[in-house]
Chain A
Amino acid sequence: MKRAGWYLVAGTVAGFAGVVVLHGRGAPAAQPAAAGTGGGAGPARAGSSAGLSPASQPAQPTRSSPAAAGGPAHGATGATEQFGYGKLAVKVTVTGSRVVNVTVPVLQTLDPTSQQISEQAIPMLRSQVLAADGAHINGVSGATFTSQAYVNSVQAALDKLHLK
């Protein structure tokens, strides 16, 4: 059959363009808040909804919205930590000198399995930090890289808040 190649190429170009156009149009919706990263049902939920934000938006230290109820709450986001399978940044909220909430506004992993591992580890790391009231925690075994990055970012956030 003559011109077979042209039909194939035309189809390929059309298919590619179609997906790219549709993706571009649906872009805001196409960023699912799939990574329910440890924020829990607390008032600081807003902080975690950034989920899979692209790294092109650097994680700025944010003195964000009123978080925990009662008392002046301060928040700071630690440096974005690379941990081999991806990167994360942790936001710490304190009232006085007490850590009242920890969220993960930036979590990006290279592959879905790492995403899964991180998502399992992050809630545990959060409760460890809240219990220890600081960055001196044991971490989660099986998620060593994630734990290290988490601890480093928590420490960086606390440093920004001039605590501990």
Chain B
Amino acid sequence: MNAPTVRSGSALPVGGGRRHATPGRPRVPLPRPALARTALLVAGVGLGVTTALTFTAETAGEFTAPGGPVTFAGNLTGMIGTYLALMMVLLVSRIPAIERVLGQDGLLRWHRRLAPWPISLLVAHAVFITVGYAQAARSGLWHEADILLTRFPDVLIATIGLGIMCLIGVISIRVIRRRLSRETWWLVHLYMYLALALSFMHVIVLGPSFVGHPLTRLVWSLAWAGTAGLVLVYRFGLPVVRSMRHRLVVVEVRPEGPGVVSVICSGRDLDKLPVAGGQFMMWRFLSRGRWWQAHPFSLSALPRPPYVRLTVKAVGDFSASLSGLRPGTPVMVEGPYGAFTRHTQVWPRAVLVAAGIGVTALRSLLEDLPRKSAPIVVLRASRREDLVLGGEVADLVRYRRGQLHVLVGHRDQASIDERSLRRLVPDLDRRDVFVCGPESFVASIVDLVKSLGVVDEAIHHEAFAL
């Protein structure tokens, strides 16, 4: 393979866009949608079983007794709510087989969309049980709440768990979350694991579906233990193992544009890192003030052993601080994550659209596309100097016999609309569309191409949350 010009200014060989794949790069595990479908089916079975267990634990006598219907509603909401909470944990446990199909992006979207349900159901559970028991005992609500909290085993601690859960629910409401720093929010969010652990015992000890049913108890406990195991393995174990293996350290921080820097790291065995173009990793720089937080950044080029590069725009305190990163800083990584890769492509050809710093994922994805795949690349930036990595993208596009369109200007003047898109991409409905950039940009492009007849399976996106 001959290499066209490398236009990067550094002596390090990372920046250039030469080959579409380094020989000997490990095979990236391909996404298998059947696995994700099976997981969905299993999740559904679990939901059905959980619901049914509530019904089979109920006798007609219990239901018709005073407070019976309300207590039953309490049992039902409790069981379904707890099961959905388990699903929420699984959605963020980074199980690779599912992550490869839905992408971190997709998993988080489901997590965010479904999360209000378990919390509301569990609050309803607490209310229903208190009301139901009060009706049964013919006593007042507050009196009954007092009895539940002080006399019933494990209820007090589960209520504390519910309180933590509600607090996390409240700070996750969009309006409130925007006022918090990402780090604060994330740290508080971690307490959800504590909340779930606190509530576990009262389910097993008091739940009518579990008392006197050792088998149900066992299966339920195994499901929770298994989930905890998955979280430990994939959120903790695998990242530690990968980081130990590759031993990344920062070797250079290079300015790319206004507020944009590339961080180049070197490491061992990077030829064995199973990463596809367009994916991102969680980066944790082990220096003072940074070690405790991991942030998602796209690889802005495929690894060129022993180097790997990420390109970051200063949008928050953390990303702004990266320009001060010292060479020699050790780095820990999680991932690679993301379904924004050529392996999810349904057509042979693609159109790649990026705005702002979204160009980083586009850049490494482009590098992964085969020669002569004739990609159409559309880059959008507000100002010319914001157009980072432009030279590299141009080289990669030329090598693949593609076309590059650059739109510079304010949103109103250089927007991507139906007319411009039809003109730039005449065969839009026979190409995969890859969109990367800020959330609002991604949403508008996805809506636009959908309205122009591109099917869901051919639309791939990665949004950068600020």
Q: A residues engaging B (CB < 8 A)?
A: 1-2, 4, 7-20, 23, 30, 32, 34, 52, 54-56, 82, 84-87, 108, 110-113, 115, 145
Q: Which label, helix, strand, loop or mixed, suits the secondary structure of the A interface? A: helix
| B42 interfacial contact with A, CB 8 Å | yes
Q: Is the CB of A82 within 8 A of B45?
A: no
Which B residues have a C-beta under 8 Å from some C-beta of A?
33, 36-37, 40-53, 55-56, 59-62, 64-68, 71, 101-102, 132-133, 136-139, 151-153, 205-206, 208, 211-212, 456-457
Tell me which of A10, A15, A87, A113 contacts B65 (CB under 8 A): A87
Q: Is the CB of B49 within 8 A of A1?
A: no
CB-based nearest A residue for B129: A111
Instruction: Tell whether, in the assembled complex, residue B48 and residue A12 are in contact, meaning their CB atoms are under 8 Å apart.
Output: yes
Q: Judging by beta carbons under 8 Å apart, are B44 and A1 in contact?
A: no
**Among all A-B residue pairs, the 10 with the closest Cβ atoms:** A11-B44, A15-B48, A55-B61, A19-B52, A16-B48, A15-B45, A12-B48, A7-B40, A112-B211, A15-B49
Residue of B nearest to A115 (CB): B211
CA distance A113 to B56 in the complex (A): 19
Q: Which chain B residues lie closer than 8 Å to A55 at the CB level?
A: 59-61, 64-65
Set of chain A residues within 8 Å of B47, measured between Cβ atoms: 8, 11-12, 15
Complex contact B66–A15 (CB within 8 A) = no
A35 to chain B, nearest CB (A): 9
**Which residue of the partner chain A has the closest CB to B49?**
A15
Known: A1-B102, A84-B138. A11 touches B133 (CB 8 A): no
Q: How far is the CA of A86 from the CA of B68 in the complex (A)?
A: 10
> Which residue in B49, B62, B136 is a CB contact (below 8 Å) of A84?
B136
CB of B346 to closest CB in A, whole Å: 12
Known: A11-B44, A18-B52, A20-B55. 18 other contacts (CB 8 A): A1-B37, A1-B102, A4-B40, A7-B41, A8-B41, A11-B45, A12-B51, A15-B47, A15-B52, A23-B56, A32-B212, A54-B61, A55-B61, A85-B137, A87-B65, A110-B67, A110-B132, A112-B205
Q: Which residues of A contact B456 (CB under 8 A)?
A: 2
The docked-state distance in angstroms from the alpha carbon of A54 to that of B68 is: 14
Indicate whether A113 sits within 8 Å of B48 (C-beta atoms), given known contacts A7-B41, A8-B40, A11-B43. Answer: no
Docked-complex contact B44 and A10, CB < 8 angstroms: yes
Contact B133 A111 (CB under 8 A): yes
CB distance from B33 to the nearest CB of A (A): 7
Complex Cα spacing A15 to B132, Å: 28
Assuming the contacts A85-B136, A108-B59, A110-B65, asked whether A11 and B206 have C-beta atoms less than 8 A apart, the reply is no
Q: Is B51's CB under 8 angstroms from A110's CB?
A: no
| From B33, B56, B205, contact of A1 by CB (8 A) | B33
Q: How far is the CA of A96 from the CA of B280 in the complex (A)?
A: 87
Closest Cβ of chain A to B375, distance in Å, is 25
Chain A residues with Cβ under 8 A from B49's Cβ? 15-16, 18-19
B176 CB to nearest chain A CB (Å): 29
- CB neighbours of A54 from chain B (8 A): 59-61
Q: In the assembly, what is the distance between CA of A111 and CA of B58, in Å?
A: 11
